């Protein structure tokens, strides 16, 4: 496995405020990586450092063996920075064509690639529209399209699906999962279920510090089942506790239960008994998850 | 520092597109065309009759003489004498306005974040600067061609002389304008809007001499700080009376220094 990102003891200060404090991690080529954390945790600062928009106060960052902002990364690293907007005075196609030519494409190829990426995000009809003529969601998709120009090796998407309607958010997720084998995606989002579906690794930032760097579906989560019900059934917890192999049941949030399974080998029979118990009591469930949800793993 | 001329060319051509395809650019062009129509029609076009008419001749000689511009009266193409006097002040002021948004609004909007993933900051500063310079060069050339046409329409034998003097003045004007565009590049690294850049430039030229006078008064000696101001040499080159090459070194040095400082600040800027 080759190292794509290596962050060593990176600190970023804005005056007295420390946005990132001695953050250290390395990422290898592979499935998408999720960057999560509460507001103000330092996610966007980390993105900005990785893209070379800002310089670290101390520490070292290496991306594909180069420092951020190095010309060797042009066309290899792309990003959707949060809150960045296209120039309102030029059509979407004209701007994307310009970016593609900056990446080294010929004018003809740049036009072709612009059409390709706009088609990917469902904006073929808006090729010659000005950004001001598009809705917020469409503008967002246009900025996602610029991140897909050429054949980047690393794509960083900061809050890519925020502000998109469910259908378009799904399209973006489909693009990520479709290209996940060729492109190393790094995604930041507050939608944990989205990240859970797409990502294999999670970087959890809190208050400028990296709290977790873990692989999803690892052994920590193996001895658990998560059950989501359609509605609240007051008697459900004692019933579940009676199932052999279930040592503990906790209500993690409204209509959601975390089952601690003492016997991992017999998980299948526990699941079957659980479903039988639910059916016999006429209780409707919405989801049975093998392991902990990302939310329960992190918080 | 590795620089890709291909990426710089991309940035330059996009700047030219900005002038000819955006509403703002076309508005600036319309204003420019209107102003120059008036200058060419009323001043440059009638320059010959004004300067050579017996009643005006003595007055012009006195006036131009007082300003140290008598050499201009000897030019075979009278139109260019008026053209030079207007253009040498007009183009620097126009450059301050037209080149006021080299990257400040892109920085404010976040568009630079898309661009700097594809080009270095040095290329960005240089590319945008050269783009603006090309635009001003095109405009200078257009006004120079119009002046040549006016002179040739009066007397077709002046065509060759007009072309020669037009080419010479165009190059000289471009050199005069260069540090003004570079100054706007530098101010763009410090402010977030074109309007603020223009305000900063106005303050620089309005308050700068006062500050220099104060420094001189305080320390009782000349520090030659006036050399920091673009256009400092204009009064010396205005007469076109055996202009020394060294007069054009100052704007070139100022341009280089301003661009280096602009790049230095841009390199450290947070986008």
Q: Cβ of B18 under 8 Å from any chain A Cβ?
A: yes
pLDDT greater than 90 at residue B205: yes
Least trusted range by pLDDT, from A25-29, A202-206, B62-66:
B62-66
A189 in the same domain as A127: yes
Give residue-wise pLDDT tens across range B93-109.
999 999 999 999 999 99
- List of chain B residues whose C-beta atoms are within 8 Å of the C-beta of residue A74: 117-119
pLDDT greater than 80 at residue B58: no
User: Is residue B49 classed exposed, middle or buried when 0-12, 13-18 and 19+ CB atoms within 10 A define those classes?
Assistant: exposed
Q: Cβ of A72 under 8 Å from any chain B Cβ?
A: no
- List of chain B residues whose C-beta atoms are within 8 Å of the C-beta of residue A54: 270-271
- List of chain A residues whose C-beta atoms are within 8 Å of the C-beta of residue B119: 74, 102
A176 in the same domain as A61: yes
A85 in the same domain as A44: yes
Q: Cβ of B113 under 8 Å from any chain A Cβ?
A: yes
Interface mutation vs chain A, best among B12, B28, B114, most A CBs within 10 Å: B114
Question: Taking residues A144-173, what's their average pLDDT?
Answer: 90
A32 in the same domain as A140: yes
Instruction: Give the model's pLDDT for residue A63.
Output: 96
Residue B222 banded pLDDT, cuts 50, 70, 90? confident
Residue A178 banded pLDDT, cuts 50, 70, 90? confident
Domain that holds residue A279: 219-298
- CA A87/CA B104 separation, integer angstroms: 12
Q: Which of A188, A215, A242 is the last residue of a domain?
A: A215
High-pLDDT (> 70) share of chain A, %:
96
Instruction: Give the model's pLDDT for residue B157.
Output: 86
Backbone angles phi, psi at B4, to 5 degrees: -100, 115
Angle at A277 between CA A276 and CA A282, to 5 degrees: 95
Q: Cβ of A146 under 8 Å from any chain B Cβ?
A: yes
> Which among A139, A134, A90 has a CA at the least distance from the CA of B24?
A90
Q: Cβ of A217 under 8 Å from any chain B Cβ?
A: no
Q: Which of A215, A234, A254 is the last residue of a domain?
A: A215
Instruction: Give the model's pLDDT for residue A65.
Output: 93
Average pLDDT in chain B? 88
* CATH label of the domain that carries residue A115: 3.40.50.300
Instruction: Give the model's pLDDT for residue A1.
Output: 57
pLDDT greater than 90 at residue A186: yes
Task: Please give the structure tokens belonging to residue A258.
Answer: 């975390």
Task: Please give the structure tokens belonging to residue A235.
Answer: 């008697």
Q: Cβ of A293 under 8 Å from any chain B Cβ?
A: no
Are A29 and A23 a contacting pair, CB within 8 Å? no
> Which among A14, A174, A234, A103 has a CA at the least distance from the CA of B4?
A103
Q: Which of A191, A215, A239 is the last residue of a domain?
A: A215
Instruction: Give the model's pLDDT for residue A161.
Output: 86
First to last CA, chain B: 20
**Are B113 and A51 in contact (CB < 8 Å)?**
yes
Q: Cβ of B119 under 8 Å from any chain A Cβ?
A: yes
A247 in the same domain as A162: no
Residue A265 banded pLDDT, cuts 50, 70, 90? low
CA distance B94 to chain A (A): 22
Are A298 and A216 a contacting pair, CB within 8 Å? no
What is the sign of the dihedral through the CA atoms of A100, A160, A211 and A222? Answer: negative
- CA A208/CA B208 separation, integer angstroms: 44
* CATH label of the domain that carries residue A294: 3.30.70.100
Q: Cβ of B1 under 8 Å from any chain A Cβ?
A: no
- List of chain B residues whose C-beta atoms are within 8 Å of the C-beta of residue A55: 268, 270
CA distance B120 to chain A (A): 6
A269 in the same domain as A153: no
High-pLDDT (> 70) share of chain B, %:
87
Question: Taking residues B52-67, what's their average pLDDT?
Answer: 66
Q: How many residues does chain A have?
A: 299
A146 in the same domain as A101: yes
B4, B110, B117 member nearest A77 (Cβ): B117
A109 in the same domain as A244: no
Least trusted range by pLDDT, from A135-139, A185-189, B49-53, B195-199:
B49-53
A224 in the same domain as A192: no
Task: Please give the structure tokens belonging to residue B170.
Answer: 């165009």
pLDDT greater than 90 at residue A91: yes
B2, B106, B121 member nearest A87 (Cβ): B106
Question: Taking residues A104-128, what's their average pLDDT?
Answer: 94
A193 in the same domain as A159: yes
**Of residues A245 and A95, more confidently modeled:** A95
Least trusted range by pLDDT, from A43-47, B64-68, B215-219:
B64-68
**Of residues A198 and B221, more confidently modeled:** A198
Q: Cβ of B28 under 8 Å from any chain A Cβ?
A: no
Strand partners, A201: A33, A215
DSSP single-letter state for residue A288: E
pLDDT greater than 70 at residue B52: no
Are A7 and A47 a contacting pair, CB within 8 Å? no
Are A195 and A189 a contacting pair, CB within 8 Å? yes
Give residue-wise pLDDT tens across range A44-85.
999 999 999 999 999 999 999 999 999 999 999 999 998 899
Q: Cβ of A103 under 8 Å from any chain B Cβ?
A: yes
Return the exposure string of A108-135: e unless at least 16 CB atoms fall within 10 Å of the residue's CB, then b.
eebbebbeebbebbbbeebbebbbeebe
A165 in the same domain as A21: yes
**Are A84 and B117 in contact (CB < 8 Å)?**
no
Give residue-wise pLDDT tens across range A244-263.
888 888 988 888 999 988 86
pLDDT greater than 80 at residue A133: yes
Residue B143 banded pLDDT, cuts 50, 70, 90? very high
Q: Cβ of A75 under 8 Å from any chain B Cβ?
A: yes
ipTM: 0.86
CB–CB contacts below 8 A, A to B:
74
Q: Cβ of B111 under 8 Å from any chain A Cβ?
A: yes
> Which among B9, B18, B253 has a CA at the least distance from the CA of B135?
B18
Instruction: Give the model's pLDDT for residue B91.
Output: 95
* 3-state SS record for A83-98: CCCCCCCCCHHHHHHH
Question: Taking residues B80-94, what's their average pLDDT?
Answer: 91
- List of chain B residues whose C-beta atoms are within 8 Å of the C-beta of residue A83: 110
Question: Taking residues A262-281, what's their average pLDDT?
Answer: 84
Question: Taking residues A206-217, what's their average pLDDT?
Answer: 79
Q: How many domains does chain A have?
A: 2
CA distance A60 to chain B (A): 16
**Of residues A64 and A195, more confidently modeled:** A64
**Are A71 and B120 in contact (CB < 8 Å)?**
yes
pLDDT greater than 80 at residue A269: yes
- List of chain B residues whose C-beta atoms are within 8 Å of the C-beta of residue A104: 6
Give residue-wise pLDDT tens across range B229-260.
998 888 877 776 665 666 789 999 999 999 99
Task: Please give the structure tokens belonging to residue A7.
Answer: 């962050």
CA distance A72 to chain B (A): 10
Give residue-wise pLDDT tens across range B169-202.
999 999 999 999 999 999 999 999 999 999 999 9
Kindly give the interhelix angle for A92-102 and A107-120, rounded to the nearest 10 degrees.
120
Helices (H) and strands (E) in chain A, counts: 9, 13
A202 in the same domain as A241: no
High-pLDDT (> 90) share of chain A, %:
52
**Are A81 and B21 in contact (CB < 8 Å)?**
no
């Amino acid at each position: 496995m080759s190292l794509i990102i290596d962050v060593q003891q990176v600190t970023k200060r804005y005056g007295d405020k420390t946005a990132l404090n001695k953050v250290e991690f390395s990422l290898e080529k592979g499935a998408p990586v999720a960057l999560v954390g509460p507001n103000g945790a330092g996610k966007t600062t980390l993105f900005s450092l990785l893209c070379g928009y800002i310089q670290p106060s101390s520490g070292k960052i290496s991306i594909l063996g180069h420092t951020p902002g190095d010309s060797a990364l042009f066309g290899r690293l792309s990003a959707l920075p949060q809150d960045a907007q296209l120039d309102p005075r030029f059509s979407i196609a004209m701007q994307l064509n310009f970016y593609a030519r900056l990446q080294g494409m010929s004018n003809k190829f740049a036009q072709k690639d612009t059409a390709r990426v706009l088609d990917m995000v469902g904006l073929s009809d808006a090729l010659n529209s000005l950004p001001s003529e598009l809705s917020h969601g469409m503008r967002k998709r246009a900025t996602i399209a610029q991140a897909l120009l050429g054949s980047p090796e690393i794509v960083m998407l900061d809050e890519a699906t925020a502000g998109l309607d469910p259908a378009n958010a799904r399209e973006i997720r489909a693009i990520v999962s479709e290209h996940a084998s060729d492109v190393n995606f790094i995604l930041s989002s507050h939608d944990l279920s989205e990240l859970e579906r797409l990502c294999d690794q999670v970087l959890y930032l809190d208050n400028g510090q990296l709290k977790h760097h873990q692989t999803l579906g690892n052994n920590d989560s193996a001895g658990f089942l998560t059950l989501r019900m359609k509605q609240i059934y007051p008697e459900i917890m004692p019933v579940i506790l009676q199932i052999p192999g279930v040592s503990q049941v906790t209500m993690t949030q409204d209509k959601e239960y975390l089952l601690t399974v003492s016997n991992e080998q017999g998980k299948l029979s526990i699941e079957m008994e659980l479903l039988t118990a639910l059916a016999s009591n006429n209780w409707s469930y919405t989801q049975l998850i093998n392991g902990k949800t990302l939310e329960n793993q992190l918080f | 520092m590795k620089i890709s001329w291909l990426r710089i060319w991309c940035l330059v051509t996009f700047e030219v597109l900005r002038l000819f395809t955006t509403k703002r650019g076309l508005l600036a062009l319309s204003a420019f065309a209107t102003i120059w129509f008036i200058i060419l029609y009323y001043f440059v076009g009638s320059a010959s009759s004004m300067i050579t008419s017996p009643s005006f001749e003595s007055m012009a000689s006195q006036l131009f003489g007082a300003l140290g511009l008598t050499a201009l009266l000897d030019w075979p193409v009278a139109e260019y004498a008026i053209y030079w006097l207007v253009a040498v002040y007009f183009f620097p002021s126009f450059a301050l306005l037209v080149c006021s948004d080299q990257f400040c609004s892109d920085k404010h909007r976040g568009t630079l974040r898309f661009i700097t993933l594809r080009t270095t900051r040095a290329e960005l500063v240089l590319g945008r600067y050269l783009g603006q310079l090309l635009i001003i060069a095109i405009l200078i050339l257009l006004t120079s061609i119009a002046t040549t046409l006016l002179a040739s329409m009066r007397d077709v034998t002046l065509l060759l002389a007009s072309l020669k003097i037009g080419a010479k003045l165009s190059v000289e004007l471009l050199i005069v304008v260069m540090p003004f565009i570079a100054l706007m590049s530098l101010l763009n690294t410090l402010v977030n809007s074109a309007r603020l850049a223009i305000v900063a430039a106005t303050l620089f030229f309005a308050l700068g001499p006062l500050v220099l006078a104060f420094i001189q008064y305080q320390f009782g000696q000349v520090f030659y700080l006036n050399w920091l101001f673009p256009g400092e040499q204009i009064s010396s080159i205005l007469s076109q009376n055996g202009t020394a090459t060294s007069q054009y070194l100052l704007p070139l040095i100022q341009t280089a220094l301003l661009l280096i400082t602009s790049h230095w600040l841009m390199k450290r800027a947070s986008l």
